[in-house]
Structure 1
């Protein structure tokens, strides 16, 4: 299946790994249920460098800035919005889904650096360090295939296939 990339919102995602090899996940603010967890992600402003966008989004959503970037996905990772998301004016407006470049970084600061209210619009209501192999079962259904691709690329990059 060929997708027209202009139908997808440009976006960045960020996978943050701590010194113990666990990844940062946040529970979406205002959402209930066990499947409302995700990695930080967000839109790219017009003319904005993608790595700069990833660092900005990471800080706005988590307060984290003590990081070392070490890679990104080799191409766009794409997912479609389901009908219930398309019906929401804020998220689904004008796009079929999202196309994302994912960045991988190591967190080298203290956990006290996490500030879920670092930016005016709060994205997460709680967070935790999670085993990479447990992330998929906690993510909303329509993002799972894209997360599988992201995690596979990360594992290859880390040499943990």
Structure 2
């Protein structure tokens, strides 16, 4: 799960831990599989994440993905993981897919604090040609999120929960 060399077959990706004022993070329920990004019954939840476009700064990608997947624009930057984290896709023998050339994803995670009204959050909207990935959302204690995600992402989520633990404590004490 450590940083891999640039020439590896991992897709550059960002993840977003969007905190509310109580220190909980936004998670969303995936609608279904996306090629090798499969879901398993009981493990359909995840935090927003998405690919980094060619030449795009990872923080810029995080802001873009946050808006595309949640409709959220009312947030402030809190911090980020110090290292890039990787996960491998499970074996995939389905039809050709945009993620098929990749072994997995290489992620930089960003922590942000939501500053808007909950009515702003909508994970079911479409942006451009993108199809909604989620059916619903909720706030969740960060420490409980790793058990809700698919097993192949769990180690990354455990790392993110540990890395952002001080931010959770700051959010709760500043209420």
Answer whether TM exceeds 0.5 for this pair: yes
Q: Distance in 1 between matches of 2:57 and 2:101?
A: 22
Tell me which moved more, 53-62 or 24-33. 24-33
Aligned mates of 1:66, 1:28 — CA distance in 2: 23
Q: CA deviation at 1:17?
A: 0.3
Q: Deviations over 1:65-96 (max 9, x none)?
A: 10001111101111111103x64532542111
Pairs within 5 Å for 1:7-156: 7-30=9-32, 33-84=41-92, 87=94, 89-90=96-97, 92-116=99-123, 117-119=125-127, 120-156=130-166
Aligned pairs, how many?
159
Deviation at 1:131, TM superposition (A): 1.2
Q: Aligned-residue CA RMSD in angstroms?
A: 2.1
Segments of structure 1 that go 5 or more residues without pairing to the other structure are none
1: distance between equivalents of 2:15 and 2:145? 14
Which is helix-richer, 1 or 2? 1
4+ residue segments displaced more than 6 Å: none
Counterpart of 2:50 in 1: which secondary structure?
Answer: strand
Give the C-alpha shift of residue 7 in structure 1. Answer: 1.2
TM-score (norm 1): 0.89
Change beyond 3 A, Cα 1:149–1:87: farther
Counterpart Cα distance in 1 of 2:164 and 2:66: 18
Gaps (5+ residues) in structure 2?
A: 34-39, 171-175
In structure 2, the CA distance between the partners of 1:78 and 1:140, relative to structure 1 (3 Å rule), is same
> How many angstroms apart in 2 are the aligned matches of 1:87 and 1:95?
14
Q: Please identify, of 53-62 and 87-96, the stretch whose mean Cα deviation from structure 2 is larger.
A: 87-96
Superposed CA offset, 1:15-71 (max 9, x none)? 000001111000002367320100000001111111110000010000011000111
Name the TM-score, length of structure 2 as normaliser: 0.83
